[in-house]
Amino acid sequence: MKALGIDVGGSGIKGALVDTDRGELITDRYRIPTPRPATPKAVIATIKKIIRHFDYQGPLGVGFPGIVVDGLVLSAVNIHKDWVNFAGEKAIASATGSKVIVRNDADVAGFAEMRYGAGREAKSGTMIFTLGTGIGSTMFVKGQCVPNLELGHLYLPRHKTDVEQYASDRARKELDLSWKEWGQRLSEYFNHIEFLFSPQRIIIGGGVSKKYEKFLKYIKVRAEVVPARLLNEAGIIGAAAAAAAGGDCSL
C-alpha cells in the first residue's frame, strides 16, 4: 500500500510517499523549514504544501513532537504553545480533506524500526530513542507500543536540568561537545533508563544515528545498544505505516 508520511520536527517538516508493505520510501523526501512561530495554522499550511508537492490523495500519517492522545495534542515543548490541547488530527483532516492519523513522533519512528528495521528480531523490552532537537522515546513490550513516554523530559537533579538540555543532539552542537563527551552523557542517561525500565535492546535513531561509530562506543550499559537502520527516515515511514494501519502502532 502507498501512503504519505509526514514528520513534524523542531527545525524541519519532512514528507515522502512510502511503500508500507516494504517500509521503504518510494519518492525523495521533501523538506520545508518549520515555520516560526510554529503555530497550528502555520504548520498545517506547511503540511498542505507537502501534500500538494506530491499531488497526493489518500491516508496521511503525521508524526508530531509532543504527547498525542486520540488525535488531541497535549504538549508542545519544542513547538508553539498554541498546540497544547489542540485537536490536531481533526484540524489537519479538515484542512486537507484526507483521512489523517496523528501520533507522537517517537512512537511512529519506533513503530517503523520495530516493523522494518533494527527491532525486527528484538526480544521483549525494546526502547527506541530519537536524538535531535529534543529526545523522543518509546518502548515496545511483546509487540505493544507504550505511547507518549516523553523520557527526554526526565529531570536530572545532579545537573539541575532535563535530559533534552543535557544530552540531545542540539545540546551537543550548542555546547560544542566532543563525540566522547556527548557519548558519556548519553551513557549516563541510558544507565538511568536501564535502572527504571530494564530494556533488553536500546535503538538509537534520529539523523545523528548515521554517525553512530563516533559515539556509540562510549555508551556503557547492560542492554544491547544498536543504531536505527532507517535513520532519519523512520518518522516518515512509521507515520505512513500507522496511517495505512488505521492508527494502530502495535506489531
Residues 147-187 pLDDT 10s: 999 999 999 989 999 999 999 999 999 999 999 999 999 99
pTM over 0.85: yes
The percent of residues above 70 in pLDDT, for the chain, comes to 100
| Residue type, position 152, single letter | G
pLDDT value, residue 122: 78
Structural domains of the chain ordered from first start: 2-108+233-244 (3.30.420.40), 120-232 (3.30.420.40)
Query: pLDDT band at 145, cuts 50/70/90?
Result: very high
The string of pLDDT tens digits covering residues 212-242 is 999 999 999 999 999 999 988 999 999 999 9
